[in-house]
Amino acid sequence: MPTGRPRDPQIDAAVLEATLAVLDEAGYGRLTIEEVARRAEATKPAIYRRWPTRQHLALAALAARLGDSPVPDTGCTLCDLGEGIGVFLAAFRRIRPGVLAALFADCAAVPELRDTFLATLFEPPRAAVGEMLERAVVRGDLRADVDRGLVLDMLSSLVHYRVLFGHAPLADDEVEAAVEALLSGVAVDYPRLVAHSRALTEAHDEAHHPAHHT
């Protein structure tokens, strides 16, 4: 049996868009249900029916912005990890500095909110990196005896630590250097991985910029 009126997706979209606008312009500290309702031309009760707190609302809006990021599968472990971490890093760069730290501080004291924060914003990148590591082990690129959970924490923290605390930007070349430094210790044959990555890069460059013969 129906349990009430179905949710209007147009209201959902308008509210999430308004929430992101406030976060982008003023940060999490200035986010209020009243301001979101005004911008979205919605009512406060309509918002509260969908998201019980402003924390839930902010998490839903940021999750919508991050979206579903594809997990690279090129057959090249170095390429996949570098590109995969870069995809999530690029997504987090679209969030105003300071928003995540303030939101986490507001969620940390409530176990349900803390778990929702981690599951919504940090678990997707972590799961994606974990999938890439599993494929690398299956391909024989990484040693099977390696503590994959520890390697996963080290790689995913590249994004999480600097994104959350914002003490320093994380450049793409730093991601590449960190991935290579870690994999050099856990790979079955690290020089082979590097050679494979370089060969794919050269083939890609040649395909897109073929030499002109006279």
pLDDT at residue 36 greater than cutoff 80 = yes
Average pLDDT over the chain reads 84
pLDDT of the residue at 167: 61
> Cβ atoms within 10 A of the Cβ of 17, count?
15
At the fourth CATH level, which superfamily is domain 9-64?
Homeodomain-like (1.10.10.60)
The predicted model gives 16-28 an average pLDDT of 97
pLDDT at residue 17 greater than cutoff 90 = yes
Residue pLDDT, tens place only, 159-196? 787 777 766 666 777 777 887 888 787 778 878 888 88
Residue pLDDT, tens place only, 106-159? 999 999 999 999 999 888 888 888 888 888 889 888 888 888 888 888 887 777
Listed in sequence order, the residues at least 6 apart from 65 whose beta carbon sits closer than 8 Å to its beta carbon are: 20, 91, 94, 95
| Cα 19 from Cα 36, distance rounded (Å) | 6
* Residue 187 near residue 81 (C-beta atoms within 8 A): no
Q: What is the three-class DSSP state of 169?
A: coil
The pTM assigned to this predicted structure is 0.76
The predicted model gives 64-83 an average pLDDT of 82
Topology of the domain comprising 69-208: Tetracycline Repressor; domain 2 (1.10.357)
* Residue 85 near residue 64 (C-beta atoms within 8 A): no
Domain regions of the chain by residue span: 9-64, 69-208
CA angle 105, 110, 113 (to 5 degrees): 80
